[in-house]
Amino acid sequence: MSKFFLGREVLTKINSPINGEIRVCEDLFGRREMLVGKIPQSGGLVSKLWKEGLRLIKKEEGKKQKPKKNKECLILGLGAGTLAKQMAQEFGGSRIVGIEKDPQVIRLGRKYFALGEIPNLKIVIDDAFENLKKQKTKFDLIIVDLYFGQEFPPEAESNKFFKDILKLIGPDGLVVFNRLYFNQEQRDQADEFVRQVAEFFPWVKTKRLVTNLLILASIEAKNKV
């Protein structure tokens, strides 16, 4: 009955030591959404965000002379797999490594979002900042989507983090940072972050999508438009 009166039903609610309260909700049409606190982390607006985001990424990659079809992709902040599922659909046989710190998020992703059924996805439960030290692959696409609710970790704004990313991005690769952008404080923080990204990457492009700001960066200055 809660679906009828409230427009959605809470399928489960847990408290995670890492993320705090996590809820999985389902609306009248069977669409599911994971919320950490009040912020969607998978499904819902997140699906819309990354649908537009991947379209933007493909547009930028289409400007290359020989866009790579089968990519090596890294997601820092896998969540319940909304982005990974969309990437698997858009990029065909590309291989995806998804890093997620919270095992509870992975468990809910498998149960409610078919996380375990995404082709060519390697799920790694680990701290993203520690895991970067272990990676040996050069990636064509790195997505940084590291949020705990509304909080962007300060480690992801450190010079060390940027240097670790630079070691793993391929010569023609793309890094995409996702920042919340729906109030003045977040906009100020994101704008400052863009300036910081520009200190490490010769080419930077931003795009406001939904309530977020996507920041695309490349070590190839020749891609600048």
What pLDDT does 5 receive?
A: 46
Helix (H) or strand (E) holding 99: strand 95-100
Percent of the chain with pLDDT over 70: 93
Confidence of residue 68 (pLDDT cuts 50, 70, 90): confident
Instruction: Give the global pTM.
Output: 0.92
Strand order in the sheet with 212-218: 121-125, 95-100, 72-76, 139-144, 169-180, 212-218, 203-209
Model pLDDT for residues 2-52, shown as the tens digit of each residue: 554 456 899 999 999 999 999 999 998 899 999 998 888 899 889 999 999
* Average pLDDT of the residues in 68-94: 93
Could you tell me the two tokens for 214? 């996507």
| One CATH from 3.40.50.150, 3.30.43.10, 3.40.50.880, 3.20.20.10 for 45-223 | 3.40.50.150
Checking if the pLDDT of 130 tops 70, the result is yes
The pLDDT assigned to 224 comes to: 43
Report the alpha-carbon distance of residue 5 to residue 169 in Å, rounded. 48
In the predicted model, what is the mean pLDDT of the chain?
91
209 band by pLDDT with thresholds 50, 70 and 90: very high
